[in-house]
Structure 1
Amino acid sequence: MYEPEFVKGLFNRMSSSYERVNYITSFGFSIRWRRQFLQEIQATEAQVEILDMLTGMGETWEAAKKKLPYAKITALDFSEGMLKHAERKNNVKFRKEVSVIQQDILQNQLPESGFDYAICAFELKTFDLPQVRILATETKRVLKPGGQFSFIEVSKPESKLLQFFYGFYLGKLIPILGKLLLGNPREYRMLWQYTERFQDARDVAAIFKDAGLEVSFKSYFYGCATGFTGYKKA
């Protein structure tokens, strides 16, 4: 389930409905969480470079532009289905100002020390731990000295009661929605399987710390989302 081609195919098939379902699966919190995880990085009006890793459909661009209004965004993803929608959003809402690149973040051609910020929303769960180690190394490589990063992912809540209801919602009800939208509930059932295996971002944060980055773990809404933020030492 973590093989890149499998994950790419999964998101290609879900691309027509993923943004709506992501909003629904988070009870509408995904928009708020995108703002919150960007609050962890330092605001500036300088002309900085942002790398939006695993950009999906470009759902984080608006929040990133509000936080860093003069930033240039480079958006990377390996799913052509997702990027088709991202390009449409780029043309309609962002005057083609976002640089959209189709590459695998684990095997990329991005410049070393080329970015002031690296951000990633709701894609960590599709990596196993060996892949996370590569992701941490690549994050460190592409950031400038002193560059900041922030990651967030839907997680299993800390409360047992929330775990039960959230698990039932994602594991049972969302696949029904997937069947209505795609005719196949399997893709959306996979989202809960990824989340259940992921648990929360603690292990990922520890791997980023082991890679030599300064890292702080973050929790949002009783652990329904978790993430981490930090910077590359100068």
Structure 2
Amino acid sequence: MTEARTTADGGMETSYGFRQVQDGEKQGLVNEVFHKVAKRYDIMNDVMSAGLHRVWKDAMVAALGPRKSSDYRTLDVAGGTGDIAFRIVEASGKNAHVTVLDINGSMLGVGEERAAKMGLSDNLDFVEANAESLPFEDNSFDAYTIAFGIRNVPHIDVALKEAYRVLKRGGRILVLEFSDVEMPLLDKFYDQWSFKAIPQFGKAITGEAEPYQYLVESIRKFPNQRDFAAMITKAGFSRVNFSNYTGGIAALHSGWKL
């Protein structure tokens, strides 16, 4: 629980939770985590955040304010199960088109099943690809969103540069991620909840504790709000800012391609 966070200078590429791994090794380990938890991923999000992830995601989409236009295109990265994409489509009056991109086919499969059941398939497409090498042309999207996924990308700086590349001029990036708790006492409670309770709930619900041990450790290694904002700025974005949710348990970062 006292592990130092990585900084704007990097470090997440060799951090698998609190373990140090070789550059190039992390992606395979992370993929295995999400293959294991895909079917119960959304249930565990409720457990990990006491249901607050739903409120934070709603706030993220409200901040985005998607246009009610059929030519409005959003790329939702690491969004395999569709949580953010569905919200964007609904907020646009079912006009916007969202491309859901995830490196993990198991997560995408869950999202495609959910989209079909919700009658939203016409507004969505699902693409299996790497956030560090997006298979899209320059200036393709009006918005780029990623919720609780950026810390699992090994080379975050590369992913942010790719986000900048595929956004249109005037496009916006929104990143929702667990962050550095800045409220006294809440940080102590949150540490106990994270390290004592969440892996045990994970084992009870999914049969796997280790993936959730990684997930809570990865939260503690992720750069704090100001360092991550510096990374977004370094990737070329302007007017970068962030808003803390629930005392900093999560933070929403925003930037513009101007």
Q: What TM-score comes out, normalization by structure 2 length?
A: 0.84
Number of aligned residue pairs: give it: 231
Aligned counterpart in structure 2 of residue 133 of structure 1, from 133, 157, 161? 157
1:205 match: 229
- Conserved in 1, the CA contact under 8 Å of 2:170 and 2:257? yes
Aligned counterpart in structure 2 of residue 9 of structure 1, from 32, 45, 66? 32
- Conserved in 2, the CA contact under 8 Å of 1:205 and 1:227? no
Mark the runs of 5 or more structure 1 residues left unpaired by the alignment: none
Aligned counterpart in structure 1 of residue 212 of structure 2, from 173, 178, 188? 188
1:112 match: 138
- Conserved in 1, the CA contact under 8 Å of 2:242 and 2:252? yes
Mark the runs of 5 or more structure 2 residues left unpaired by the alignment: 1-15, 17-24
Q: CA separation in 2, counterparts of 1:199 and 1:208?
A: 12
Q: CA separation in 2, counterparts of 1:94 and 1:156?
A: 37
Q: 1:42 deviation in Å?
A: 4.0
Q: 1:56 deviation in Å?
A: 2.6
- Conserved in 2, the CA contact under 8 Å of 1:50 and 1:116? yes
- Kindly indicate whether residue 60 of structure 2 is the aligned counterpart of residue 37 of structure 1: yes
Q: Aligned Cα RMSD in Å?
A: 1.6
1:84 match: 109
- Conserved in 2, the CA contact under 8 Å of 1:56 and 1:79? yes
Aligned counterpart in structure 2 of residue 218 of structure 1, from 243, 248, 254? 243
Q: 1:91 deviation in Å?
A: 1.2
2:179 match: 155
- Kindly indicate whether residue 166 of structure 2 is the aligned counterpart of residue 142 of structure 1: yes
Overall identity of the aligned pairs, in %: 25
Deviating beyond 6 angstroms after TM superposition, the runs of 4 or more aligned structure 1 residues are: none
- Conserved in 2, the CA contact under 8 Å of 1:116 and 1:148? yes
- Conserved in 2, the CA contact under 8 Å of 1:153 and 1:226? yes
> Secondary structure at the residue paired with 2:79?
coil
How has the CA–CA distance of structure 1 residues 96 and 41 changed in structure 2, closer, same or farther, with 3 Å as cutoff? closer
- Conserved in 2, the CA contact under 8 Å of 1:38 and 1:64? yes
Q: CA separation in 1, counterparts of 2:51 and 2:249?
A: 12
Q: CA separation in 1, counterparts of 2:225 and 2:159?
A: 14
- Kindly indicate whether residue 150 of structure 2 is the aligned counterpart of residue 124 of structure 1: yes
